[in-house]
Structure formats: structure tokens, C-alpha cells
């Protein structure tokens, strides 16, 4: 039996076994025990292999007053988890997905095995499957779950790799034949109370992951999957139910415990999902919020997300009636805990991180360029970023031999800033190491150059504004090379926002043809840019990271470019 079939069968049989074993272990309600059982649920999301404290803006948490504090780092996170558990002996630790993928080099160089080891070490009990869990394909997810050395280069971090000691959950992920591709839920126990845990990746996962990586998989509606699992758990006597949802909302400002509800996918799911669900931990959007949302029965429940990269831990304290085994909603208290760096690093976690960093150092610390100041990924009001400009120029330079005239970069593929101040011993300030560059562009996407008409190029730019089913518009601003300039209007309707497009200073003509470079994620229609799939005469090029490092090497003492490529008008 193949691994794929084995996991499909395992997903069916183990889900039933977990639920049934949980039911068998449930004691009859004790009418003489009216005191509620206190349980602490601790959630994290979008860790992305950030074992070391992340640098730049990625290593800060913004407070309600606009100030910020340094946060993150596996050794500090482990200490905070221990402190939270010490305050509440009945505690369970979960993840809402994207534990790995788009990771810094100390984790990625070893196929993210150090991160899985770290999660085992701190006692994660379950995780949702995030989109980045599938970056390297389904078989690699299976290996992360069950262990074994990489078929690419064996075991490079340790002599063996045991895999995750906790289950990956995906209630809405199936094979093409309809069989489950992962466990839909698990049942855990705390304080003698059964807690059902449902994991759900976003149904639009195919839009944010390469088609090849998820070949043979389907992703269904999140609410329907949650409701099916909640109904089954309820019938089996599990009344306290948690959802690990790898889908989030965007918020504008606010501190870790503010709630600025804006219509979004996670909010809609939280409002529609079964009233049997008591707590929803969300992820994917890398936002920080702590909201109370009414379920379809009108009862409140928390919807919470803890930013990303291990900077926050989402904490939900619940009380369970031992007679009904259900959560007393009125007594639920939630908060986001900042993973500050003013605590003593956990020794075991620190040893693991130090080992990964030391083993990666010969490659990681190689200098590939220098910068005069921080080159950041944050976008200005027009949607342009200094780092996006640099990457666009790097990709154009790398594909000029294919006739490229324009390069486009998806903003979600830019994972960190280039920071002037060095955090590595022996590496001077201003030095860009291979590890720094890898953290910025970790996906190893292939650059492709294709021919588009001027009309198609405009259509691609118009697709930066994407209408959503809930009536909102999601904005995904492409970063562009210096050869492309255009203006967009904030007040113009979707589909007619872009004007005054020029390539190399010349107005773009609808019927003329242009050679446009983008990575293979974008050219495959990723992030909703379906028009890019229409390109013709496609020519493959370099890996995006190689283009980036080559550009940095050729442009020493790089300064942030002037933000003059995209103009916004009212």
C-alpha cells in the first residue's frame, strides 16, 4: 500500500478510533461536583520556522498606543509556555498551522526538522494544516507527520527524524477520490474533560500554493467541515470543542488584544460555524486580534489570532461544567500574551536552536552584499515597498537574456526586511548574509518570462484589487521593476483603477507585446492573478533567490530605491 493510501485509510480509521476511545474514557457526570473545571487553551500560529528571534519589523509587536516591543524566538517562547502552564495546570497547546515553510535558513536548510523537533519539545498537542505545510508537496507533509529521513538528501540535522508527536488536522482536505487526506479532528483530555480539536485549512488554499504541490488534493468549505466534525464529536459525548482555523482577517492597527472587526473570511466562518464550537484560534493573515463573536445561536465565543513568527501566544481560559461537559461561555477569558525577550531562555529550546544555527553557519554567514540602511518590505500608501523594488529589479536583471522588459513580484513572497544592524556575531553591520537573503526569499521559485499584450498587462495590474464574496475588496499590490510605472485611483471602480502605464518610459499599447517576468507561483495564477496564466512563449530562468543574491553582490552598498514607480491618486 502506498503512503498516500495508507494515510487516507489512517485518516478514516484513526479519526473513529480517537473519537471512540475518547468516548470510552469519559466518566459519567458527577452530580456532586458542581465546581467548573478550569482549562487553559494556548494557541500559536504561523511560526514559519522562526527558531531564532526574528529581526526588523518581523521581531516586534505593536502595542495599542503605537509603540512596539521586541518579541519572538523559540527559547523565549518555550519559557513563556512553561510560565502559562505553571499558572494553569490543566493546559493544552495547539497551533493553527504554517508551523513550517517560508522559514529562515536554520530551519529550512534541514527541511524544517528542527522546528518539528521544537514543537515536540514544548508539547504541542495538535496543529491545523496550513498552506505552507504543503509547499513541498503532500508526501513531505506525510514525512513531517510520521518521520523518516528526507528522500532528497537524507537526515542532515540529526541521525534520525521521528516526525511530529502530534497530529496534523485538516477536516476539509481530501484526495480527489473523496477520502480524507488527514485527520479531521482529535480528542484530548485536560482536567478529566474531553476536548475536541478540529483543524481546518483555508478552502482557497489552491490560490496560495503551487498547483504541483497540491496535485491530487481538494479543499472543501470550512464551515461545512467544521459542522460535520462538531456534530460527530457531539454525538460521541465531546461537548467542549476548539477549532484551529488556518484562515484569518486583516485589521488596521491595534494592539495584541484589540478587536477591529472588519468583514473577512475568518469572521464570517466564526459567525456561521456550529454553535457547538466554543473557541476559534485563527491564523494565515499574520494579524493580531482578540475578538468576541456571536455564534448562530447568539452565544459569544472568542476568535483570536497571535500575529506570526512566535511573537504572541493566544491564551483562552475556559471553564467546563462537569455535569454537561460543555464550556460555560460567559466565563471564557482570552488574551494574547507577548513573547517578550526579557525572560530566561529555556535551556532545552536554546540548545536545539544553537545546534541548528551552528550547523547552518557555514552557509548562512556567507556575505552576499551590503546595504547602507534598512531596506523594508512595508508598503507606502501607493502600495510600493523599497524591498519590493529591489527584488523586482533583481528579477528583471536576471532575465534580460530572455528579453524581459518588466518584472512583477507577489508581496506575500517577501518574508522579511533587509536589516542594516547585524544580529550575528562576527558579521559587520550593513552586511547581507546568505541567511538574510534566504529569509527574505525562501521559496526557491523559478523565474519565468512570458509574452503578454499591453491589454493583458493592464488586466494583471487590475487584478491587484480582488472582490470577495462578502462584498469587500482584497488588495494584493504587486511589486514592480524600475522599468514599469503606472497610476491608480483609489476612488475608481474595481477593474478600472489603473492608468498611465509605461514600460521603459513609453506608454503601453493594448495590442503591443511585452516580455514579463514573474515567479512560477504567479505565472501559475497564484494569489488570484489568473491573467498571468495566459502568457505565451514562456521561458524558464533562474531561481528567485539566486537572482536576488546575484543582484545584491553586483550592487554593493545598496540604498533603498526611491518609491516612484506606483502613483496613487484619489
Residue range 365-404, pLDDT digits in tens: 999 999 999 999 999 999 999 999 999 999 999 999 999 9
Q: What is the pTM of this model?
A: 0.88
CA distance 29 to 32: 9
- At residue 194 the predicted structure's pLDDT band, cuts being 50, 70 and 90, is very high
The predicted pLDDT at position 18 comes to 40
Average pLDDT over residues 272-291: 97
Residue 88 confidence (pLDDT) above 60: yes
| Chain segment 195-235, per-residue pLDDT in tens | 999 999 999 999 999 889 999 999 999 999 999 999 999 99
DSSP codes, 101-161: SS--HHHHTTTTHHHHHHHHHHTEEEEEPPGGGGTT-HHHHHHHHH---BTTTB-SSSS--
The predicted pLDDT at position 20 comes to 36
The predicted pLDDT at position 251 comes to 83
Spatial contact of 186 and 129, defined as CB atoms under 8 Å apart? no
Residue 14 confidence (pLDDT) above 60: no
Spatial contact of 462 and 395, defined as CB atoms under 8 Å apart? no
Q: What SS3 class is residue 87?
A: helix
- At residue 32 the predicted structure's pLDDT band, cuts being 50, 70 and 90, is low
Spatial contact of 417 and 57, defined as CB atoms under 8 Å apart? yes
Residue with cell 448562530: 296
Residue 155 confidence (pLDDT) above 60: yes
Residue 258 confidence (pLDDT) above 60: yes
The predicted pLDDT at position 262 comes to 75
Residue 245 confidence (pLDDT) above 60: yes
The predicted pLDDT at position 471 comes to 84
On the CB side of 505, how many CA atoms lie within 13 Å of its CA? Answer: 0
The predicted pLDDT at position 470 comes to 79
Residue 261 grid cell: 472587526
Domains (ranges, CATH) in the chain?
Answer: 3-27+36-347 (3.60.21.10), 365-569 (3.90.780.10)
| Chain segment 90-115, per-residue pLDDT in tens | 999 999 999 999 999 999 999 999 99
Average pLDDT of every residue of the chain: 93
| Chain segment 344-367, per-residue pLDDT in tens | 999 999 999 999 999 999 999 999
Residue with cell 479519526: 15
Classify residue 374 by its DSSP letter.
Answer: -
Average pLDDT over residues 123-135: 97
Q: Worst-scoring range by mean pLDDT, 9-23, 41-55, 118-132, 409-423? A: 9-23
Amino acid at each position: 500500500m502506498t503512503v498516500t493510501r495508507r494515510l487516507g485509510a489512517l485518516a478514516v480509521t484513526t479519526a473513529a478510533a480517537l473519537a471512540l476511545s475518547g468516548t470510552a474514557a469519559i466518566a459519567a457526570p458527577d452530580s456532586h461536583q458542581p465546581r467548573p473545571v478550569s482549562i487553559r487553551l494556548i494557541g500559536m500560529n504561523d511560526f514559519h520556522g522562526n527558531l531564532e528571534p526574528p529581526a526588523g519589523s518581523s521581531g516586534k509587536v505593536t502595542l495599542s498606543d503605537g509603540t512596539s516591543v521586541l518579541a519572538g524566538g523559540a527559547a523565549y517562547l518555550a519559557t513563556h509556555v512553561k510560565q502559562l502552564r505553571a499558572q494553569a495546570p490543566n493546559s493544552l497547546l495547539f497551533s493553527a498551522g504554517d508551523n513550517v515553510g517560508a522559514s529562515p535558513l536554520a530551519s529550512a536548510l534541514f527541511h524544517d526538522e528542527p522546528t518539528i523537533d521544537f514543537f515536540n519539545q514544548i508539547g504541542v498537542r495538535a496543529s491545523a494544516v496550513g498552506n505552507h505545510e504543503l509547499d513541498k508537496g503532500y508526501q513531505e507533509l506525510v514525512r513531517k507527520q510520521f518521520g523518516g529521513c528526507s528522500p532528497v538528501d537524507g537526515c542532515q540535522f540529526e541521525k534520525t527524524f521521528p516526525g511530529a508527536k502530534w497530529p496534523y488536522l485538516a477536516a476539509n482536505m481530501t484526495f480527489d477520490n473523496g477520502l480524507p487526506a488527514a485527520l479531521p479532528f482529535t480528542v484530548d483530555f485536560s482536567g478529566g474533560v474531553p476536548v475536541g480539536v478540529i483543524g481546518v485549512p483555508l478552502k482557497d488554499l489552491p490560490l496560495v500554493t503551487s498547483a504541483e504541490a497540491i496535485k491530487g488534493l481538494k479543499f472543501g468549505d470550512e464551515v461545512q467541515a467544521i459542522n460535520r466534525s462538531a456534530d460527530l464529536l457531539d454525538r460521541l459525548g465531546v461537548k467542549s470543542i476548539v477549532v484551529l482555523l488556518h484562515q484569518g482577517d486583516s485589521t488596521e492597527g491595534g494592539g495584541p488584544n484589540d478587536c477591529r472587526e472588519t468583514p473577512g473570511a475568518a469572521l464570517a466562518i466564526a459567525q456561521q460555524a456550529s454553535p457547538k464550537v466554543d473557541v476559534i484560534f485563527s491564523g494565515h493573515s499574520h494579524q493580531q486580534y482578540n475578538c468576541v463573536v456571536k455564534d448562530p445561536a447568539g452565544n459569544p465565543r472568542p476568535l483570536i489570532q497571535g500575529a506570526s513568527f512566535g511573537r504572541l501566544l493566544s491564551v483562552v481560559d475556559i471553564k467546563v461544567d462537569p455535569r454537561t461537559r460543555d464550556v460555560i461561555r460567559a466565563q471564557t477569558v482570552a488574551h494574547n500574551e507577548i513573547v517578550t525577550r526579557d525572560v530566561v531562555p529555556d535551556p532545552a529550546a536554546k540548545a536545539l536552536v544553537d545546534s541548528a544555527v551552528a550547523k547552518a553557519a557555514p552557509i548562512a554567514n556567507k556575505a552576499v552584499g551590503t546595504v547602507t540602511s534598512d531596506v523594508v518590505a512595508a508598503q507606502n500608501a501607493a502600495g510600493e515597498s523599497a524591498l519590493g523594488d529591489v527584488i523586482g529589479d533583481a528579477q528583471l536583471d536576471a532575465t534580460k537574456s530572455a528579453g524581459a522588459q518588466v518584472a512583477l513580484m507577489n508581496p506575500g513572497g517577501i518574508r522579511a526586511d533587509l536589516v542594516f544592524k547585524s544580529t550575528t556575531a562576527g558579521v559587520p553591520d550593513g552586511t547581507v548574509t546568505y541567511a538574510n537573503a534566504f529569509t527574505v526569499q525562501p521559496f526557491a521559485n523559478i523565474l519565468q518570462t512570458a509574452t503578454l499584450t499591453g491589454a493583458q498587462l493592464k488586466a494583471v495590474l487590475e487584478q491587484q484589487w480582488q472582490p470577495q464574496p462578502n462584498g469587500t475588496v482584497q488588495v494584493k499590490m504587486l511589486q514592480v521593476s524600475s522599468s514599469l510605472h503606472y497610476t491608480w485611483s483609489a476612488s475608481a471602480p474595481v477593474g478600472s483603477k489603473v492608468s498611465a502605464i509605461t514600460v521603459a518610459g513609453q506608454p503601453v499599447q493594448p495590442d503591443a507585446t511585452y516580455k514579463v517576468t514573474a515567479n512560477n507561483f504567479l505565472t501559475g495564477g497564484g494569489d488570484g492573478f489568473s491573467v498571468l496564466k495566459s502568457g505565451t512563449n514562456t521561458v524558464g530562468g533562474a531561481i528567485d533567490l539566486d537572482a536576488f543574491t546575484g543582484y545584491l553582490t553586483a550592487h554593493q552598498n545598496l540604498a533603498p530605491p526611491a518609491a516612484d514607480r506606483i502613483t496613487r491618486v484619489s
